[in-house]
Amino acid sequence: ELKPSTLRRYQSSLRLLDPKFGGVKLSDIDREKLRAYVADRLETGTSMPTVRRDLAFLSSVVTEAGAHWEFEGNVVMSFLKAGRKRGTLRDSEPRTRYLSANDERKLLANCDESLEFAVAFAIDTGLRREEQFGLRWNDIDMNNGVLEVSGERTKTRKTRLVPLLPRSAQMLAQRKQHTLGENFVFSKADGSRYPHRRRAFDTALKRANLCNLTWHDLRTTCGCRLLQDLGMTMDQVRAWLGHSSVAVTERHYAFLSIDNLKAAAQKSAQSSGLHKAS
């Protein structure tokens, strides 16, 4: 039932955990071994969120063991909880990089046709990479101007509908006539899907003289446009982007100007009926 991206991440964590914990009984894993693992990873320059993901995977292994065999307690889970409470295993701050309108024009001007379509679509929809490149034509309802992101590909496992902005709708309409419903929207010449467009994207960034930009920053750009340009509330942006809660949305976009955030908060209060009657 794992998503392909989750499976790849678990396999990566397993390769990194194995030298330290391979052959060790689960009952022999203690806080001292966990602290040593964290220290070793940090010494190699690994970020704390990556280390936490490895430990979260190890915790899931311990939990699974307890579901099948007589094994009680999960020291990894308690270690993670204690670390978050003390601040030693805290999350990193969200990225604040997003494209200005001018940066977007420069980037698109240095993309080939297929990459331009993918980049513009990412900015307009805010889909995560796996959500976007796993999209098929029968997930798109051109008549109603929406696309459906299956719960099989979303981070929260919940299916959601995302409106199509005019630019993306037009680009989709130009391509749909040459495709079949089961085909991937973003596909190679042989019809197979792109796992990503990292190499082409990096090349376009260099040509556009843009730095410190990742594909995920296109999703952040979408969220900023929804809040700043379209005046959406935090809850509307949460639903659009598929965040698990409004708190997550607020944390990711706390870097926006206070005026933007106050306007979004006020609009959220008004839509919830919390504003005072005039």
Residue by residue, DSSP assigns 187-234 as: B-TTSPBPS--HHHHHHHHHHTT--S--THHHHHHHHHHHHHTS---H
What pLDDT was estimated at residue 101? 95
Token digits of residue 201: 């994207």
Determine the 3-state secondary structure of 184 from DSSP.
strand
User: What phi and psi, each to the nearest 5 degrees, are found at residue 136?
Assistant: -115, 160
What residues pair up with 163 in beta bridges, in sequence order? 146
What pLDDT was estimated at residue 264? 66
What pLDDT was estimated at residue 277? 42
What pLDDT was estimated at residue 276? 46
Q: Name, in order, each residue with C-beta under 8 angstroms of 3's C-beta and a sequence gap of 6 or more.
A: 130, 152, 153
What pLDDT was estimated at residue 84? 79
pLDDT values of the chain reduced to their tens digit, one per residue, 278 residues? 677 778 888 999 999 999 989 999 888 999 999 999 998 888 888 888 888 889 999 998 888 888 888 777 889 999 988 887 777 776 667 789 999 999 999 999 999 999 999 999 999 999 999 899 999 999 999 999 999 999 888 888 899 999 999 999 999 998 876 666 678 999 888 888 888 899 999 999 999 999 999 999 999 999 999 999 999 999 999 999 999 999 999 989 988 877 666 666 666 666 655 544 43
Residue type, 127: L
Q: CA–CA separation, 217 vs 209, rounded Å?
A: 16
What pLDDT was estimated at residue 153? 84
Q: Locate tokens 């993306």: which residue?
A: 168
β pairing state of 140-141 and 146-149: antiparallel
Q: CA–CA separation, 27 vs 89, rounded Å?
A: 23
Residue type, 53: R
Token digits of residue 174: 């130009």
